[in-house]
Chain A
């Protein structure tokens, strides 16, 4: 049972802390820091389902975040939907898109798949940049009155914050749930040896398509919430290849294939990036340092931080 796992309760506690800490004393600055970390954790832990569990490198996971943002904002501003309904609808629509796309491009393996994901990201970005109903390259803006149903802008920002942290908690639970299920075992089998997995009766095509679709749902919901909170969306921001690859750095930093790893890696990387960007002498240099960090991890510590702590058995029990 998932309830008996210590990590389930750690996840609950962390999510609750995320919600309560800034709420006490109305600490907006802390809220803005934590929401960035929450988004990083959402992106990294869902991407980990593909990279860490299934062994498929996806460079374009951010496409789901961006599409979710566009779909959500379109429903809220263009169709007058309530925020939660729009976010869920965006998540479902993007998941269906991912399922269909996955059935096609997941026939490719290894590097070919990785390239196809870059192609998909660029194609979607270019398409959206020309798509009239979504404002082409100028994007879409939220008008002030959409905040009214949520009790004005101030309250709306807090509501979206709680929803985003909730999505973060769900992301971690999804990762944990898949990891402890038979479905998860099938994915690990695909990662270790796809041909052998087929022989052993794993329906690999279906498993891959489902996990690809599952890894799209929560990022899409988060995208709808975040771009609603930002008040605007534009293609360059929504489909940012760099952010997509930073999510991979986070996973590698924490330890691919582990639930806690992608969360810890996301938190640490986001902190590091925030620090580097605010240092006047380092702000241009943050790419260099992030790159050097990534190179060192890949060359010398491919298991990442959490992978490293797994040497101690009790630690491993605790964190999975």
Chain B
């Protein structure tokens, strides 16, 4: 029985990282109604960002999240102006395809640079041992880092003027513009933050598991699941839903073959989407 508990705790720790990844997707979705299909590629860039900085600087990888966040923000601003701004307001297909086109290019360049062989960040923090079970330090540190970043985002959205502007544009872009908010500037910042969060979560994943340039896709799909569970466009709910997904994974891992987990996850995903299109924590109106 305590084995199951240990598995659940570990799942929750990893789930916080899923949540962080989903927050980026959810923020962009909420503010500009765009499903950002560059998400997976950006997670992968975050992984390689931390890997490259770590192998050249040899500092604690969690400190490297700061440059990765900053780099992610800049990349996000560039992508927004190249691929997203022009097609906002056109059909859903246009933004889905333009972001997917960027995704293809990033993955193509990444494959050329780093091939698809696995890399890992060779760094470990001593874990905590309880009886027969050990919780690895990296998992704990990654979860803490994810929660800290999520809290910072929440403070930014609710305690600063720019954050307030982002929330205003999320609620009603036209009304926000009438109040003198520059929607273009707000959308740019929001997209940048969304990408920064994706990159940071990728950086955290890099400290947990080996990864390739294609690994981002797995976490992109998990982010979709989490975002849909939380209800679209709700970054705070995304963290909770991420933890829930991790908990679910942790709870079922001891009982069935690991290869069945994606089948269950995506079956659940489609079911939730059809039955609760507003998310499990339902938003009214």
Contact = CB atoms under 8 A, between A and B. Distances in A.
A256 B221 CA distance: 27
A123 B269 contact: yes
Contacts of B267: 123, 127
A286 interface: yes
A243 interface: no
Contacts of A122: 221, 262, 266
Contact of A114 (B96, B257, B263): B96
A173 interface: no
Mostly, the B contact residues are: helix
Contacts, number: 122
A119 B100 contact: no
Interface in B95-126: 96-98, 100-105, 107-109, 111-112
Contact of A299 (B86, B221, B269, B270): B86
A105 B274 contact: yes
Interface string A82-107: 00000000000000000000001101
B92 interface: yes
Contacts of A294: 97-98, 100-101, 104
A11 B160 CA distance: 62
Interface string B59-102: 00000000000000000000000110011001111101110111
Interface in A97-130: 104-105, 107-108, 110-112, 114-116, 118-120, 122-123, 125-127, 129-130
A116 B273 contact: yes
B260 A291 contact: no
Given A123-B263, A284-B111, A104 B104 contact: no
Contact of A284 (B96, B112, B257, B277): B112
A57 B92 CA distance: 8
A129 B266 CA distance: 14
Contacts of B109: 288
B18 interface: no
B277 A126 contact: no
B75 to A, nearest CB: 15
Residue among B107, B257, B274 with the highest chain A CB neighbour number at 10 A = B274
A112 B94 contact: no
Given A126-B263, A287-B111, A118 B105 contact: no
Interface residues of B, number: 44
B259 A298 contact: no
Contacts of A292: 101, 105
Contacts of A284: 108, 111-112
B97 A111 contact: no
A107 B274 contact: yes
Interface in B211-239: 221, 224-225, 228, 232
A302 interface: yes
Given A288-B105, A294-B100, A108 B259 contact: no
Given A111-B35, A119-B273, A287-B111, A295 B101 contact: yes
A290 interface: yes
A291 B273 contact: no
Contacts of A112: 232, 273, 277
Contact of B102 (A57, A108, A295): A295
Nearest to B34: A111
Contact of A111 (B87, B92, B225): B92
Nearest to B103: A291
A288 B108 contact: yes
Nearest to A57: B93
Nearest to B116: A284
B136 to A, nearest CB: 26
Contacts of B82: 295
A125 B108 CA distance: 24
Nearest to B29: A111
A287 B83 contact: no
Contacts of B105: 287-288, 291-292, 295
Nearest to A52: B93
A299 B98 CA distance: 8
Contact of B94 (A114, A290, A302): A302
B96 A111 contact: yes
B245 to A, nearest CB: 14
A55 B259 CA distance: 35
B259 A115 contact: no
Contacts of A163: none
Contacts of A256: 93
Interface string B242-282: 00000000000000010111110111011001100100000
Contacts of A137: 259
Contacts of A264: none
Contacts of A108: 273-274, 277
A114 B103 CA distance: 17
Interface string A266-307: 000000000000000000111111111011001100100000
Contacts of B277: 108, 112
Interface in A241-259: 245, 248-249, 252, 256
Contacts of A299: 83, 86-87, 98
